[in-house]
């Protein structure tokens, strides 16, 4: 119990969701800027998209450090830093006169996004040991769906005032609002008397990140994360160029009485699906198991990519299959943090989940490959490759990861039952 209403765990969850939604544009609205930047400069598409890869790398690979700070000092200060960097990143984008400045902006924005993302997810996991998948999913949903509310205004501002103005206006606005939210964020006071979800097997041993990375099971989880994230990131970064090559990007579509380009409508629907799937699949995984859920959605993602090849040149089919890809991809950002805490303990959950989250950065290295494979305007090879990887990952999660993780947790818990709850760092 607390005398401060904002220290209620549900209020803390809402704060995290809002912060995630505000920082989401750094990733999910990027595709709106790619073609306008290319049209105004002499920079190649691959050089511009390298900025996206740099952003993802910095965002993800620094999260373990940011998570370590959160585990020790709480979320407020880290998110404040993230707010400043998130604002500065897009302001630099708006002022950039060279491709090198675009890369500097990517580094700055990546630090900001990582501070916010890693902190909010880690904090949610700690506040909700009984609803770990749902809490991580709702928090990640803010990042997945938050951009859905702003892609239309951003797209309109790019058209009316130029991409530079849109970068600066939304960058400053997002940063200020995140900073305000951060003032009210606190970490839960351990130990929690709330038990883990009854259908989920969890460890009674707390591992540090250093110990975790020495365990082979972690690297199996990491590898699955990498290959599934890679397919989704390719579509996230390239949906604009894909729609353009399919001849659909500027096709007018009626949306609640307004006429908008197909690409803008697709992005809105995609981001809603990307956000919706995170709490949904997190909730389902709390009850049916992490790997069972992974099997269904990973295979679903692969089938959606195959559907895009076969039917994607039709406008409505393009919107449907793009949305389905996002629906079956976004859940990795709820299931994997929950699975990490289930397997390696909650004490160092922010740092451990952050370490696992670097898999997204590793996956981003594959994004420019999609531009190379599709240089002729044919995306079939990219979608075929992504489909094969996603379906294989689902099968590996169910039939390889599940039994290995169960055995690992059972052995750790057997030791903990003999000696009590174990902090492996001691």
Q: Does the pLDDT of residue 43 top 70, yes or no?
A: yes
Please state, in angstroms and rounded to a whole number, the distance separating the CA atoms of residues 341 and 347: 9
What residues have CB less than 8 Å from 126, skipping those under 6 apart?
187, 188, 192, 346, 349, 350
Q: Decide if 11 contacts 217 (C-beta within 8 A).
A: no
Domain at 5-423: CATH code: 1.20.1250.20
CB distance 135 to 127 below 8 Å: yes
Distance CA 34, CA 94 (A): 13
CB 49 within 8 A of CB 171: no
Specify the pLDDT at position 191.
Answer: 47
Q: Which residues contact 58 (CB under 8 A, 6 or more apart)?
A: 106, 107, 109, 110, 111, 114, 361
Question: How many Cα atoms sit within 13 Å of 268 on the Cβ side?
Answer: 16
Cα separation of 327 and 338, whole Å? 18
Domain map (residue ranges) of the chain: 5-423
pTM score, two decimals?
Answer: 0.79
Who's near 73: CB < 8 A, 6+ residues apart? none
- pLDDT at residue 80 in the model: 95
pLDDT attached to residue 424: 62
Euclidean distance between CA atoms 57 and 138, whole angstroms: 24
- State the pLDDT confidence band at 404, using cuts at 50, 70 and 90: very high
Closest to 17 in 3D by CA, of 133, 128, 150, 116: 116
pLDDT in tens, 353-386: 989 988 988 887 877 777 787 777 788 888 998 8
Indicate left, alpha or beta for 71 from its phi (over 0: left) and psi (-120 to 50: alpha).
alpha
Residue 192 pLDDT: 46
Q: In this predicted structure, what is the pLDDT of residue 388?
A: 92
Q: What is the mean pLDDT of the chain?
A: 87
Residue of 396, 229, 220 whose CA lies nearest to 329: 229
CA atoms within 13 A on the CB side of 272: 11
Alpha carbon distance 33, 164 (integer Å): 9
What's the pLDDT score for residue 28?
A: 80
Higher pLDDT, 112 or 254: 112
pLDDT at 195: 56
The residue with greater pLDDT, 169 or 72, is: 169
pLDDT at 347 over 80: yes
Identify the pLDDT of residue 118.
85
CA 64-66-68 angle, to 5 degrees, is 70
Listed range (198-202, 302-306, 380-384, 406-410) with the worst mean pLDDT: 198-202
Summarize pLDDT for 80-129 with one digit per residue, the tens.
999 999 999 999 999 999 999 999 999 999 999 999 988 998 889 888 88
Alpha carbon distance 212, 353 (integer Å): 11
Establish whether the linkage from the previous residue to 109 is cis, with ω within 30° of 0. Answer: no
């Amino acid at each position: 119990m607390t005398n401060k209403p904002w220290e209620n765990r549900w209020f803390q969850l809402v704060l995290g969701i809002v912060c995630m939604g505000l920082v989401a544009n750094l990733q999910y609205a990027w595709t709106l800027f790619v073609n306008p930047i290319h049209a105004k400069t002499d920079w190649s598409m691959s050089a511009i998209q390298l900025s996206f890869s740099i952003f993802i790398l910095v965002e993800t690979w620094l999260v373990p450090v940011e998570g370590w700070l959160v585990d020790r000092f709480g979320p407020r200060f880290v998110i404040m830093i993230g707010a400043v960097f998130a604002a500065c990143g897009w302001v630099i984008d708006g002022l950039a006169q060279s491709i090198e400045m675009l890369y500097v902006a990517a580094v700055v924005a990546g630090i900001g996004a990582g501070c916010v993302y890693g902190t909010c997810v880690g904090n949610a996991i700690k506040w909700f040991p009984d609803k770990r998948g749902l809490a991580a999913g709702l928090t990640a949903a803010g990042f997945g769906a938050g951009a859905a509310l702003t892609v239309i205004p951003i797209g309109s501002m790019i058209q009316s005032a130029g991409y530079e103005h849109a970068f600066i206006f939304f960058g400053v606005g997002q940063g200020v609002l995140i900073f305000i939210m951060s003032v009210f964020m606190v970490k839960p006071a351990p130990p929690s008397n709330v038990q883990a979800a009854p259908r989920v097997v969890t460890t009674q041993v707390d591992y540090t990140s250093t110990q975790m990375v020495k365990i082979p099971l972690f690297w199996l989880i990491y590898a699955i994360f990498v290959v599934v994230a890679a397919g989704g990131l390719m579509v996230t970064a390239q949906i604009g160029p894909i729609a353009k090559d399919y001849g659909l990007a500027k096709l007018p579509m009626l949306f609640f009485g307004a006429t908008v380009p197909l690409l803008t409508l697709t992005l809105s629907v995609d981001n809603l699906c990307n956000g919706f799937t995170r709490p949904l699949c997190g909730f389902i995984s709390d009850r049916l198991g992490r790997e069972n859920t992974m099997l269904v959605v990973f295979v679903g993602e692969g089938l959606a990519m195959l559907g895009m090849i076969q039917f994607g040149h039709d406008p409505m089919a393009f919107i449907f299959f793009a949305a389905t890809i996002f629906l079956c991809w976004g859940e990795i950002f709820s299931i994997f943090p929950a699975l990490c805490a289930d397997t390696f303990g909650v004490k160092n959950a922010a740092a451990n989940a952050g370490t696992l989250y670097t898999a997204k950065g590793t996956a981003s290295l594959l994004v420019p490959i999609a531009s190379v494979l599709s240089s002729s305007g044919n995306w079939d090879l990219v979608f075929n490759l992504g489909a094969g990887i996603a379906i294989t990952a689902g099968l590996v999660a169910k039939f390889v990861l599940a039994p290995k993780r169960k055995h690992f947790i059972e052995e750790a818990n057997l030791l903990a039952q003999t000696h009590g709850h174990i902090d492996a760092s001691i």
